Amino acid sequence: MTETSTSLVRTAAELDASGGRKGPRAVVMTMGALHEGHASLIRAARAAAGTDGQVVVTVFVNPLQFGEAADLDRYPRTLDADLAVAGAAGADVVFAPAVDEVYPGGEPQVRIAAGPMGERLEGAFRPGHFDGMLTVVAKFLHLTRPDVAFYGQKDAQQLALIRRMVRDLNFPVEIVGVETVREPDGLALSSRNRFLDAQERHTALALSRALFAARDRLAAQQALHARAQTTSATTGRAAALTRLGEARAAADTQAVARARPDDGPTAVRAAARMILDDAAAEQPPLALDYLALVDPADFTEIPDDRTTGDAILAVAARVGATRLIDNIPLTFGADT
């Protein structure tokens, strides 16, 4: 990717004057402190916009999304570095307005309500967060008027709510989710990772390890079920193998014979929970907020007897003073 000459604009009027494009406008909305995860969104936006389009990256720390003033003050501001990251990834414009540009009359009295989905999981632990998020996203969609907007899958509940808002309120924009980017050790990239010391980071790795363990357990469960559909193995054969001293083969045969597709959600939750429980005994400990296996459409819990369809396994926890979230998409009933 050739580095783009990126301009910084501070007002909506300056953003409007930055036009002149022939192709589509693609937008990536951020709160700054850009990292490789954001860069992957910008690269995807560049590919969608093409050489004749325009890529706009917004940088705005939205006060409506923070429940405590201390969290708002603590959020990193790194605009100079953000401009470099955005330019290297292919952005044409960085739109970094002041608070009074976005909220000229002070905090808005009319806001977007996230509804029931916004009260689950993250919404339950951060009341009002999603109302503030949707309000600023709606404003930036109006201010930037994109053809397509890109958001990270790491914030899966946020992405689902934005998609729902766009559909329910008829915003003329395509919403695209981009896969979570991870560090080599598996930790999902986040601006909050910089707050972790070495021991805290070690504990925090339990989030991704739990998700990967659940994914692998589901794959194994579905592979066993697939074999159960095609093999003539029975528990009787297992007993015969045991008598011959082939205990390992017998155990495998029994697992195949007993495999049931509706064990999936239970097995997924158990595999993740085991790792998170172990991390709770680490020093420093992992303090779990939630582990939830949910429907991607509305973030309601998946029932234990679910045998087909998509799901998201989501986790949130605190390590020291830092709160982290992560998730992984799963598909029940997938071909193996």
pLDDT tens-digit map of 315-331: 999 999 999 999 999 99
Which entry of 35, 38, 129, 225 is annotated as an active-site residue?
Answer: 38
Query: What was the pLDDT predicted at 254?
Result: 41
- Residues 48, 134 contacting (CB under 8 angstroms): no
Residue 306 gets which letter from DSSP?
Answer: -
Identity at 101, one-letter amino acid code = E
Q: Does the annotation count 38 as an active-site position?
A: yes
Q: How confident is the model at residue 243 (pLDDT cuts 50, 70, 90)?
A: low
* pLDDT for position 264: 86
**C-alpha to C-alpha distance for 84 and 68, rounded to whole angstroms:** 30
End-to-end CA distance of the chain: 36
Question: Does residue 55 sit in helix, strand or coil?
Answer: strand
Is residue 260 scored above 50 in pLDDT?
Answer: no
Element (H, E) at 247: helix 247-258
Q: How many residues does the chain have?
A: 336
Structure tokens at 130: 């999603």
285: left (phi over 0), alpha (psi -120 to 50) or beta: beta
Q: How many beta carbons lie within 10 A of that of residue 84, not counting itself? A: 14
As a whole number of angstroms, the distance between CA 310 and CA 332 comes to 6
pLDDT in tens, 187-225: 999 999 999 999 999 999 999 999 999 999 999 888 776
- C-alpha–C-alpha distance, residues 249 and 240, integer Å: 10
pLDDT band at residue 27 under the 50/70/90 scheme: very high
Burial 222-256 (b: 16+ CB within 10 A, else e): bebbebbeeeebeeebbeebeeeeeeeebebbbbb
* CA 126 from centre of chain: 16
